[in-house]
């Protein structure tokens, strides 16, 4: 592979990586929105954010698929590519992408924890409501037993 081939790969890979970073910024914004919607227990917002997130993830996967051959070729010839103009920019973009992914994963972990906590709270509330309902039904039977007067007269008479 010639230096011209490597330059051509850099010319393809750089804009692709910029597009991926742009999508990662959008995912970071959506991760925050998902986290907020989780804490506000806004099911409609959760669904809307999840749908938008799926759309962006699909675009990110497509970009990654298209960039893979160029990335692999550049990685295989890293020493030579490192001497070319624009390589340092790509390294910087990789660092930005890594930082964004780490921030998104961290925020997602917080969101999953909040969703798990909400599910536990929902189960406890449902269990408490069920127990309270049973207790109240038993209490009602003690406090207000059914009237038996008419039945007694009908059986004897």
Task: For residue 46, give the 3-state DSSP assignment.
Answer: helix
36's tokens: 């907020």
Below-70 pLDDT ranges, the chain: 114-115, 117-157
Residue 88 lies in a domain: yes
Residue 77 lies in a domain: yes
> Model pTM?
0.69
Residue 109 lies in a domain: no
Say how far apart CA 41 and CA 31 lie, in whole Å. Answer: 15
Residue 130 lies in a domain: no
Q: Are 100 and 30 in contact (CB under 8 A)?
A: no
Residue 153 lies in a domain: no
State pLDDT tens for residues 10-56.
999 999 999 999 999 999 998 888 888 777 777 788 788 888 988 99
Question: What average pLDDT is seen over the chain?
Answer: 81
Domain encompassing residue 34? 3-104
Looking at residue 112, its pLDDT comes to 75
Looking at residue 118, its pLDDT comes to 64
Looking at residue 39, its pLDDT comes to 75
Phi-psi category of 41—alpha, beta or left, where left has phi over 0 and alpha has psi -120 to 50? left
Looking at residue 153, its pLDDT comes to 52
Residue 99 lies in a domain: yes
Residue 131 lies in a domain: no
What total of structural domains would you count in the chain? 1
Residue 157 lies in a domain: no
Looking at residue 124, its pLDDT comes to 63
């Amino acid at each position: 592979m010639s230096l011209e081939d490597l330059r051509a790969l850099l010319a393809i890979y750089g804009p692709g990586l910029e597009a991926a970073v742009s999508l990662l910024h959008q995912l970071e914004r959506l991760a925050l929105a998902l986290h907020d919607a989780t804490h506000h227990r806004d099911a409609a917002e959760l669904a809307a954010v999840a749908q938008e997130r799926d759309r962006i993830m699909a675009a990110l996967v497509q970009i990654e698929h298209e960039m893979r051959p160029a990335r692999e070729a550049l990685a295989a010839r890293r020493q030579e590519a490192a001497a070319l103009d624009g390589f340092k920019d790509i390294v910087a973009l990789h660092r930005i992408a890594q930082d964004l992914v780490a921030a998104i994963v961290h925020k997602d972990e917080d969101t999953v924890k909040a969703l798990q906590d909400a599910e536990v709270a929902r189960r406890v509330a449902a269990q408490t409501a069920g127990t309270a309902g049973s207790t109240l039904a038993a209490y009602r039977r003690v406090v207000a037993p059914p009237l038996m007067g008419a039945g007694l007269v009908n059986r004897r008479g």
